[in-house]
Structure 1
Amino acid sequence: MIDFRYHLVSIVAIFLALAVGIVLGTTLLQDPALKSAQELTAQLTKTKEDLRAEIDTLQGREAGNDTFITSVTPDLVAAELTGQRVLLIETPGSSSTVREGVQQVLDQAGAEISGRVTLTEKFFDPKGTGVLDGLVNQLKPANMVFPATATSWDRASTLLASALVTTDQAQGGTPNPATTDILSTFEAGGLLSTEGDPAKRAMLAVMFAPEKPYEGESAETQAGALVSVADGFDVGGTGTVLAGTAIPTAPVGDAITAVRDESEISKRVSTVDTADMPLGRVVIVYSLREQLSGRAGQYGMGKGASNPMPPVTSPTPSPTTESGS
């Protein structure tokens, strides 16, 4: 029969064995383990310092490039948009700092800003399409006909574009007779606000995308609504550029990505995803010039961008007559 003393001795033996094992293990492994940990720590520290130095170098180069581009921007864009009226369109969540920087460069390019229209969250609310449809039906002229597949935002943007932009240079700077009613009604409905004198129609438009993409179950619908607005103003005028910043992950709620994913619309509407950079502001000017020639492009560094900027073409030299020709 196994008595209590046997159990006690067994338990004591087990604990003694564990203690001896721990002592032997730590004694044998202490030096290699510590050395390995120290080497790994030193390696990680060096990697971190190298990456920090690389980041500092890249940021310094970027700052230098930005300073240089800013200093030569007036020369790069001089007279590029002389005589052109440009409408600015802000969307919910777009950056006023980006818009102010772009507006300054448009001024340097000789453009005249007709005014600014700020579309509200209510305008892009999927639950408010009934309000949009009602206002469009109330305000549209009898000869304005929409395709059967047109969305509420397609119809609304077509109506707004007819009031704010034109394809006829002779009508630039003049109001559409229906503009006042359209703008005042949309403004009274909390769908937009205006600044300046956008009623005096522009030829070109720059639309500013939200800084952050839409999220949630309506993200794709709302991004599509922004695409409709950009396309509506492009068709109603001589060109539209959608400007913003590149989103690394290019989610479905990103407006610039949404334009680039629409093969037909991307043939008409240009996008620039570097609008927060000095170079991007120059690219916006060049993209507007390209729009005037009937072409479009997707520019920047984000997903779907075809090139950093449009091709820069030299002025066509005047023909000369050589002797003997």
Structure 2
Amino acid sequence: MIDFRYHLVSIVAIFLALTVGIVLGTTMLQDPLLNTLQSETSQLREQSEDLRAEKDVADQINAGDDQLVGAFAGEMLADQLTGARIVVVEAPGVDDELRAGLTSRIEQAGGTVPGRLSLTDKFLDPEQSAFVNELTDQLAEGVELPRGNAYERAGAELAQVLIAPEEDAEDEEPRDAPADGEDAEEREPALDPEAVLGGFAEGGLLTQHGDVAQRADLVLVLAPAEPFAAAAGEQAQGMEDDTAAPGNAAVLALTRAFDAAAGGAVLAGGTSSIEAGGLLAQARAEEAGFTTVDTAGSTSGDVVTVLALAITLQGRSGHYGIGEGVDNYLPDPLPQPTRPNDSPESDEDSGADPDADSE
């Protein structure tokens, strides 16, 4: 008959066997397992050190490249934007140093920045699109705007007051002044820049800096330092890309309007703008026809942005930088400098006959 003592001995034997098995198992497997883990850790540490060394070398080379570009920037940018007026339109969240660096390079190239517009979060809020559309209509003052969504129409209206029309480049008369012998009623009514810009400012949609109403030759649009927040919930419904940011769509609509009005526009940002959801990433995904630069904020990137402005004024466009879909790091061929004595008027003013043979 099996009694309690038998059960107790059996249980003790079982636990003793388990203990012996664990001891034997750990003793036999401990050294090989530890050796393998130590070897893999050592390899990973060596790889990490190699990558860190490569990064340090790359950083030093990049710093040297920036110093080299900075040393020759004056020669590279000389007369590239002579007499050109560039108005800056910036999205919320633009880096101050990026803006200041680009402004300095534009002036170094002979251009001027009469002023800039800072868009507000309210402007880009999709829930405010109806208000943007209504205000655009109120400020149109009888001027017919193209059809489209709120931001396309607002962009067309802003383009009319920011960009100098072609006839202003040839005549010194204001755009809304009738020419000799022309009935004022026959001319298409023009928008009042101060009224339009003031209306958008009072509506909390933008902020003016400088003399923005002084008509410009070209618009430089600046992307935010960090991508806009992606759409969520109801905002994403009906959008082609559920992860797209509503702010991107609004800024790109404005940029397309500036591009159409001026025959070109430039959208510039730092490398963060080509990350997932970035403004330039979306512009290139949509195969935008205006010029883009994704390295602004660095020494070489600022120089490339000014060269991009120069080719845009000369009727060319492209995508430059390091992101997907770029044509090159910088325009190729480079733009030709525009010097005052290269203009046709210089020959007339000097009294020289451009067709006369030199003796």
Would the alpha carbon gap of residues 38 and 313 (structure 1) be closer, same or farther in structure 2, given more than 3 Å must change? closer
Does 1:213 find its partner at 2:227?
Answer: yes
Please give the alpha-carbon distance, in whole angstroms, between the structure 2 residues aligned to 1:96 and 1:248: 16
Once the 2 structures are TM-superposed, how far is the Cα of residue 294 of structure 1 from its aligned partner? 1.8
Q: What residue ranges of structure 2 are gaps of 5+ in the alignment?
A: 176-189, 236-243, 343-359
Query: Could you report, residue by residue, the CA deviation over 1:108-128 in whole angstroms, capped at 9, with x for unpaired residues?
Result: 101011101111111111111
The equivalent residue for 2:356 is none
In the alignment of these two chains, the number of paired residues is 311
Preserved CA contact (<8 Å) 1:299 1:306: yes
Q: Paired residue for 1:323?
A: none
Amino acid paired to 1:183: L
2:84, 2:130 → 1: CA distance? 36
Matches of 2:335 and 2:255, distance apart in 1: 29
Deviation string 1:198-249 (CA, Å, 9 cap, x unpaired) is: 1011001111011222223244432111111111112222421100123487
Aligned to 1:290: 311
Which secondary structure state, in structure 2, belongs to the residue aligned with residue 182 of structure 1? helix
Aligned residue in 2 for 1:204? 218
Instruction: State the match for 1:129 in structure 2.
Output: 129
Q: Which residue pairs with 2:208 in the alignment?
A: 194
Residues 173 and 116 from structure 1, CA distance in 2 versus in 1: closer, same or farther, beyond 3 angstroms?
farther
Check if 1:114 corresponds to 2:76: no
Check conservation: 2:220, 2:266, Cα contact below 8 A: yes
Is 1:160 aligned with 2:158?
A: yes
TM-aligned CA distance change 1:174 to 1:26, over 3 Å? farther
In structure 2, how many angstroms separate the alpha carbons of the residues matched to 1:262 and 1:108?
A: 33
Q: Hey, what's the Cα distance between the residues in 1 that align with 2:12 and 2:27?
A: 22
CA distance in 2, matches of 1:52, 1:261: 33
Aligned to 1:262: 286
Shift of 1:88: 0.8
Q: In angstroms, what is the RMSD of aligned CA positions?
A: 2.3
CA separation of 1:173 and 1:55: change in aligned 2, threshold 3 A: farther
Structure 2 distance, partners of 1:184, 1:145, is 19
Change (3 A) 1:14 1:157: same
Q: Distance in 2 between matches of 1:292 and 1:62?
A: 30
Secondary structure of residue in 1 paired with 2:114? strand
Closer, same or farther: CA 235–76 of 1 in aligned 2, 3 Å: same
8 Å Cα contact 1:174-1:200 kept in structure 2: no
Give the superposition deviation at 1:34.
Answer: 2.5
Q: Identify the residue that residue 184 of structure 2 maps to in structure 1.
A: none
Which residue is equivalent to 2:254? 229
- Which stretch of the first structure deviates more once superposed, 150-159 or 161-170? 161-170
Alpha-carbon contact 1:273-1:302 (below 8 Å) kept: yes
Q: Which moved more, 1:64-73 or 1:168-177?
A: 168-177
- Classify the secondary structure of the residue corresponding to 1:312: coil
What percentage of residue pairs aligned between the two structures are identical? 39
Amino acid at match of 1:299: Y
Q: What displacement does 1:315 show?
A: 5.2
Cα 1:123/1:52, change in 2 over 3 Å = same
Q: Describe the shift of the 1:202–1:182 C-alpha distance in structure 2 as closer, same or farther (beyond 3 A).
A: same
Q: Distance in 2 between matches of 1:95 and 1:158?
A: 26
**Alignment partners' CA distance in 2, 1:223 and 1:130:** 17
Instruction: Note closer, same or farther for the CA distance 1:104–1:174 as it changes in structure 2 (3 Å cut).
Output: farther
Shift of residue 180, structure 1, vs aligned partner: 0.9
For the residues of structure 2 that align with 1:238 and 1:220, how far apart are their CA atoms? 27
Partner of 1:65: 65
Contact 1:85 1:172 in 2 (8 A): no
Could you state the TM-score of these two structures normalised by the residue count of structure 2?
0.81
Give, in whole Å, the separation in 2 of the partners of 1:247 and 1:173: 44
Q: 1:79-118 residue pairs with structure 2 within 5 A?
A: 79-118=79-118
TM-score, normalisation: structure 1: 0.89
Taking a change above 3 Å as real, the CA distance of residues 167 and 287 of structure 1, as seen in their structure-2 partners, is farther
Task: State the 1:174 CA deviation.
Answer: 6.7
